[in-house]
Structure 1
């Protein structure tokens, strides 16, 4: 099995939901929500990819970084590389249903673990999907992170307590899911949170709390204030609000605002290990991968997910060699140029 074979199988299985384009840039699927596209014009999805393409690496080959160390400390867990599978749900109404929800989550979780990293599991309008994810994480001794939609606080806290029973690495909320069309269509109320509401949720658990969906320095500082231990710079893959800024563009200023106070993760438009390198150079500690994992799962189940992740890992390793980076801490702004 290789990536071309995985993509070919996924293209057939996801027909009508994802074209598995040669370049996953949001152009062909603009406005296809539900589906795999971006909201309305799809500009938020497209700008994630476009702005990341404007970041260029500085080639360096006179150095001693011959065997880079990719190890990533994620709270109390050591990962082989700084790439985590993003929380994605909705196999039936977003991906075509060729895999059941359990099959998709199982492939994402176990394919990630077999590659030396972990997956986050998601929440959705179908209340059973979160339960499925929790059950699968239980089977792997909690080696993953449940991410909960911004429902009413009692419901969020109830889901936090369900997560605690399997002792995951951390727990979190994708607050950027506040405007999801798919949730609204299913009659599941989600929305923004006040500082007080977030403090109530974070204080309800001893697990490290991750707040996903931060796109401004101001809200990054608020995440620190409420006691979150990590943020994910994310515009939800461009699926909730048209014409947002890209994650790559806002990442440096968020880094500057909260550097050293909180772990910074990022997603959006990352399609290769070179893209991972770019995000780390722009200020992220680690990255989340979404759509490529979906393609891997539909095209090759657990093995397809592992293939996608291992390919990105190898590309990151090669990029580090060719830029003179011995370890992740060596990847900084001096290793790139930005054309925006």
Structure 2
């Protein structure tokens, strides 16, 4: 007999053939593995993701969107998959902007163990990193169902001491929404971020999120340029300050505006009453030739730090990158592509392993730059 283990909830099942679904949590057989093959390290998780995502993503050591990467070779006339829009300049700009940031190595001072804990909108986190609002993972070789992907992110983040944000894509609807369904099944905090659909549809989705106990809701404003939504005739819209005010006033929850890349847009969001401004160029997937998120973050932070919560994503791959974003002005950092790979590689187990690795390296980076708490991080640790 073979012992099978669900990478979503760790339930084990003893039988000859692989179970069709988990007897405990209902996850399907794509996230149920022979216990002998359960990955225990991040390298093993990424190895499984590389096999499952063949043709879309090779889980390279450097996820930078260069022309030699399989994801970017799909850019011309094909769905962008894991890549960036156009020639991928925005994707690469995210990575290059972070590569250009340098730390001051500080080794003289009192010995302390860095404390990475923090609070996001009243929820205590073990470290200031959350999963970004990705969606559509089941369309990558059908390696994981969309419901299990959403559950893996939510549960894996919770197990690692943080929160998963959940996204929106062309096959999500108010009546059939994997993200909201996963939030209900898991029963733990998660932050739904919706595409900029019509105001009425958004209000309905926001109300559903409220009923599920979400700590916040938001709109992916740069999703107005989503190529996949356009390809499937799903209407998305630019939002005015008036539109944002209407959405902010339609909910009792803190409202998040994601996809902000200019001071002007950030100020408009603050004027509308937004509580969280999320600096992001959508992973370089909606407009080519933008700056990297880390390039524009300091100017936005200079204008709005302390008035709103600032999150940032784009090119973040390591705990060192997390510390760079925090030093440049972010209050919290989001991870996108790496979380997809982790979930595809080993369900919620993979997400937990990845997030715990990020926290470990962040803590090391803080130690080597002489920072003992998240509140102490600022640009003084940068060269």
Q: State the distance in 2 between where 1:238 and 1:106 align.
A: 25
> Contact 2:172–2:178 at 8 Å: present in 1 too?
no
> Contact 1:33–1:239 at 8 Å: present in 2 too?
no
Q: Deviations over 1:304-333 (max 9, x none)?
A: 111110001000000111111010121110
Task: Report what 2:92 is aligned to.
Answer: 46
Query: What is the correspondence of 1:67-146 to structure 2 with a 5 Å cutoff?
Result: 67-93=113-139, 95-128=140-173, 131-146=177-192
- Give the CA deviation at 1:128: 4.7
**Which of the two has higher C-alpha Rg?**
2
Q: State the distance in 2 between where 1:60 and 1:245 align.
A: 30
Task: Report what 1:21 is aligned to.
Answer: 60
Q: State the distance in 1 between where 2:79 and 2:370 align.
A: 41
Q: State the distance in 1 between where 2:333 and 2:281 align.
A: 14
* TM-score, with length taken from structure 1: 0.96
Q: Is 1:297–2:336 an aligned residue pair?
A: no
Structure 1 SS opposite 2:149: helix
Task: Report what 1:324 is aligned to.
Answer: 370
- Give the CA deviation at 1:259: 1.7
Aligned residues: 336
Q: State the distance in 2 between where 1:234 and 1:192 align.
A: 16
Q: State the distance in 1 between where 2:274 and 2:343 align.
A: 31
Structure 1 moving runs of 4+ over 4 Å = none
Structure 1 SS opposite 2:102: strand
Q: Is 1:268–2:268 an aligned residue pair?
A: no
Query: Which residue of 29, 42, 50 maps to 1:3?
Result: 42
> Contact 2:248–2:274 at 8 Å: present in 1 too?
yes
Unmatched 5+ stretches in structure 1: none
> Contact 2:167–2:192 at 8 Å: present in 1 too?
yes
More contact order relative to length (CA 8 Å, sep ≥ 6): 1
* TM-score, with length taken from structure 2: 0.86
Task: Report what 2:31 is aligned to.
Answer: none
Q: State the distance in 2 between where 1:133 and 1:124 align.
A: 10
Query: What is the correspondence of 1:136-215 to structure 2 with a 5 Å cutoff?
Result: 136-215=182-261
Structure 2 SS opposite 1:127: coil
- Give the CA deviation at 1:127: 2.3
Unmatched 5+ stretches in structure 2: 1-39
Q: State the distance in 1 between where 2:100 and 2:111 align.
A: 25
Q: State the distance in 1 between where 2:84 and 2:178 align.
A: 26
* Inter-CA distance 166–22: structure 2 relative to 1 (3 Å threshold): same
Q: State the distance in 2 between where 1:294 and 1:243 align.
A: 24
How large is the RMSD of aligned CA atoms in angstroms? 1.3
Q: State the distance in 1 between where 2:241 and 2:275 align.
A: 15
